[in-house]
């Protein structure tokens, strides 16, 4: 295994802590929640404010903690925030807090990103990302690691945080998305989503029946697998990424509040 002091290990740990495209961790469930799947559900029922905490393991080591928080700003508009902190020896690699913030809007049961901000936790702002989505002009503009961004918007496009909320909204309404186009820094990328079955798993809040979903880029052997609990409004309770048969990292739920 590469030393955690080796900067070549950074991308793996950043991708873990950033939680990008890991799952749609958008469901509030500090207590047992009523399951729902009706189309046309009101926005306040689909996306209720919540805070969730997770532990992330990389190659068998406790590498980072992560928190996700969804807050309602106004009718139909929300802010989704991810905060991630390295643990133990991994602090030598990533000493700052990784922060991602997506402002989004829910319209007719579908999620539209409004803006995305990403900071890598260092004083150096050259790696930061700032994107704004103008749905009237159908453009996304901003900067990504000092590169100018000006891309055409397609219907249903997401940023790397809002896609998590978009998937949760679809599952809550009983729909099965097949994929998303996601703006990642200064590129639009396709991701394929697929249902993989059901399983009962043990969690920090007890045994749960789950549905399993995977996501990957076309042609890639890296697959992200997420276990969602329908009894908790399809809250994600476990996740992992594999490259072929090799486990790269995993995440487990610690707690959920709303």
Q: Would you call 33 helix, strand, or coil by DSSP? A: coil
- For the chain, how many structural domains are there in total? 1
- How confident is the prediction along the chain (258 residues), in pLDDT tens digits per residue? 333 333 334 443 444 444 333 333 333 333 223 333 343 345 556 777 778 888 998 888 888 998 888 888 988 899 999 998 888 877 766 668 899 999 999 988 899 999 999 998 778 888 899 999 999 999 999 999 999 999 999 999 999 999 988 888 888 888 888 999 999 999 999 999 999 999 999 988 889 899 899 999 999 999 999 988 777 767 778 899 999 999 999 988 888 886
pLDDT per position as a tens digit, 202-217: 988 889 899 899 999 9
pLDDT of residue 150: 98
pLDDT of residue 42: 53
Any domain includes 242: no
Any domain includes 46: yes
Any domain includes 249: no
CA 14, 68, 207, 229 torsion-angle sign = negative
Q: Are 209 and 197 in contact (CB under 8 A)?
A: no
Supply 125's token pair.
Answer: 């702002």
pLDDT of residue 247: 93
Instruction: Please return the burial class of 3, using the count of CB atoms within 10 Å of its CB with bins 0-12, 13-18 and 19+.
Output: exposed
Any domain includes 194: no
pLDDT of residue 28: 31
Which residue range(s) make up the domain with 44?
Answer: 7-189
pLDDT of residue 102: 97
pLDDT of residue 132: 98
Any domain includes 224: no
Give the distance, in angstroms, between the CA of residue 174 and the centroid of all CA atoms in the same chain: 20
Any domain includes 231: no
Query: How many CB atoms sit inside 10 A of residue 145's CB?
Result: 14
pLDDT of residue 43: 52
pLDDT of residue 113: 98
Any domain includes 241: no
Q: Are 216 and 10 in contact (CB under 8 A)?
A: no
Query: What backbone torsions phi and psi does residue 37 show, to the nearest 5 degrees?
Result: -150, 15
pLDDT of residue 8: 37
Any domain includes 254: no
For β-strands 158-159 and 179-184, DSSP reports them as parallel
Instruction: Report the C-alpha gap between 222 and 88 in whole angstroms.
Output: 27
pTM of the model: 0.80
């Amino acid at each position: 295994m590469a030393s955690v002091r080796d900067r070549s290990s950074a991308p793996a740990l950043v991708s873990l802590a950033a939680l990008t495209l890991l799952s749609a961790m958008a469901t509030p469930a500090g207590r047992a929640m009523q399951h729902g799947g009706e189309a046309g559900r009101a926005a306040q029922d689909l996306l209720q404010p919540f805070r969730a905490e997770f532990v992330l393991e990389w190659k068998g080591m406790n590498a980072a903690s992560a928190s996700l928080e969804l807050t309602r700003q106004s009718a139909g508009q929300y802010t989704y925030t991810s905060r991630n902190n390295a643990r133990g020896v991994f602090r030598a690699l990533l000493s700052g807090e990784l922060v991602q913030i997506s402002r989004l809007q829910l319209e007719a049961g579908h999620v539209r990103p409004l803006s995305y901000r990403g900071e890598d936790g260092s004083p150096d702002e050259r790696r930061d990302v700032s994107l704004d989505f103008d749905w009237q002009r159908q453009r996304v503009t901003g900067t990504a690691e000092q590169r100018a961004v000006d891309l055409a918007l397609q219907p249903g496009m997401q940023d790397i945080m809002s896609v998590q909320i978009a998937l949760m909204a679809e599952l809550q309404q009983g729909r099965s998305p097949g994929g998303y186009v996601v703006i990642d820094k200064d590129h639009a990328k396709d991701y394929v989503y697929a249902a993989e079955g059901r399983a009962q798993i043990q969690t920090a809040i007890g045994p749960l029946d789950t549905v399993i979903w995977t996501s990957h880029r076309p042609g890639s052997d890296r697959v992200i697998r997420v276990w969602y609990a329908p009894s908790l409004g399809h809250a994600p309770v476990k996740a992992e990424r594999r490259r072929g048969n090799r486990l790269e990292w995993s995440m487990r739920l610690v707690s959920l509040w709303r």
